[in-house]
Amino acid sequence: MANVAIIGSEKSGRTNLAAKLGKKGTESDITLYNFVKGDRIYSFVDANGYPSSLKSLINAINLSDIVLVCVPSDGVNAQVGECIIALDLLGNKRGLFVITMSDKSNPAAIAVLSEKIKAIARGTNLEKWESIAVSTTTFEGLEKLKEKLFALGEEAWAANAEKNVLPQRVMVDHFFNVTGMGCVVLGVVTQGTIKVHDSLTTFPIKIPTEIRSIQSNDVDMKTAPAGTRVGLALKGIQSKDFDRGYIISQKEEVASKFNLKCHLTKFTTGLGVGDAVHLFAGLQGMPATISSMAIGGKDVTQAPPGSECNVTVTTQKDIAYSKDDRFLIVQLNNPKQRLVAGCEVV
């Protein structure tokens, strides 16, 4: 299975594209779609809560192996820039730019737009991404998009296969009760292979959890490898215990105080001691405060745009994480630039 995020502004055509690529499933601030090609399954995540909810964008990206950034044919907007910054801070390297509604433009204008996208992405993880023009009305470019997507899907399958030997880890995005089954969660196996009757733990709340049954794309399974979107019936825990982003695994780090090495985007206004921020790890987002900060080993009170710094961040509640996880610091109420820094644990 390959997990694909479809992101862009509200009127970027992302939802129409998702509907053309897959069959609609679970809907919330992110909407899931599925498509089956032979023995390959593609799960699409439409960040339909974005741009009003930055969390929807971050969640869609962190659930994905591949990202499609939708750019309307009438030109680049602020949301395209925000999507590029988020992907660069999170280190995503596999994806495509999709110029949507190509039937409302012309080849010359689309060529100019493609060059503009390339210029904006230069110097980021996205600088080698291709741009493909499509129309969900005339279907122009859809087959070419699928060909490129399937090629990226094979890369994702190979990368996920290498993670099958790692300890099991499931990232949960939805949870509810089902009559006769009890607690059911939806999520993605980010590493390892899970099996029916595995005894694991739900973090950060540290509740022992047994996998009662596994489904993927409405098919019962005994095991599910890395990269699989799954529905799990669980024993020993209730849906009310869950929050989005909780992790089912053997072991996680759990903390409310973090020492992070951060790279600030050059578009932010900066970061300072005492700032109220949100810290994102995977699908978990938590209000936090910058407690201290250092640049080059010296304590400072401010870090300028584009700088690297070490910060201590304190969150309101515990967050579950792995030391390899990528963190984001954001300022949700900043009207100009919500994304501040990409971080890693030190």
Whether residue 202 is found in the same domain as residue 239? yes
Q: Give the integer Cα–Cα distance in Å for 275 and 290.
A: 5
Whether residue 48 is found in the same domain as residue 157? yes
C-beta of residue 27 within 8 angstroms of C-beta of residue 38: no
Whether residue 138 is found in the same domain as residue 10? yes
Write the CB contacts of 41 (distance below 8 Å, at least 6 apart in sequence). 1, 2, 34, 35, 216, 217, 229
Which residue range is the domain that position 20 belongs to?
2-161
Whether residue 155 is found in the same domain as residue 101? yes
- When divided into structural domains, the chain yields a total of 3
CATH number, position 131 = 3.40.50.300
Return mean pLDDT, the chain: 97
Q: Which of helix, strand or coil describes residue 163?
A: coil
Q: Give the integer Cα–Cα distance in Å for 94 and 326.
A: 16
Whether residue 223 is found in the same domain as residue 268? no
Q: Is residue 336 scored above 90 in pLDDT?
A: no
At 242, is the pLDDT very low, low, confident or very high (cuts 50, 70, 90)? very high
Whether residue 129 is found in the same domain as residue 108? yes
What pLDDT, in 10s, does the model give residues 297-324?
Answer: 999 999 999 999 999 999 999 999 999 9
Whether residue 84 is found in the same domain as residue 12? yes
Q: Pick from 126, 161, 196: which residue ends a domain?
A: 161
CATH number, position 304 = 2.40.30.10
Whether residue 298 is found in the same domain as residue 230? no
47-54 average pLDDT score: 96
Q: Pick from 226, 249, 272: which residue ends a domain?
A: 249
Whether residue 47 is found in the same domain as residue 141? yes
What pLDDT, in 10s, does the model give residues 141-168?
Answer: 999 999 999 999 999 999 999 999 999 9
Whether residue 242 is found in the same domain as residue 264? no
Locate 61 and state its tokens.
């990206």
Q: Pick from 230, 249, 268: which residue ends a domain?
A: 249
- Report the 10 Å Cβ neighbour count for 94: 18
Percent of the chain with pLDDT over 70: 100
pLDDT at 335: 84
C-beta of residue 328 within 8 angstroms of C-beta of residue 89: yes
Whether residue 239 is found in the same domain as residue 127? no
The number of angstroms, rounded, from the C-alpha of 303 to the middle of its chain's C-alpha atoms is 26
- Can you state the angle between helices 78-90 and 54-62, rounded to 10 degrees? 40
Whether residue 146 is found in the same domain as residue 178? no
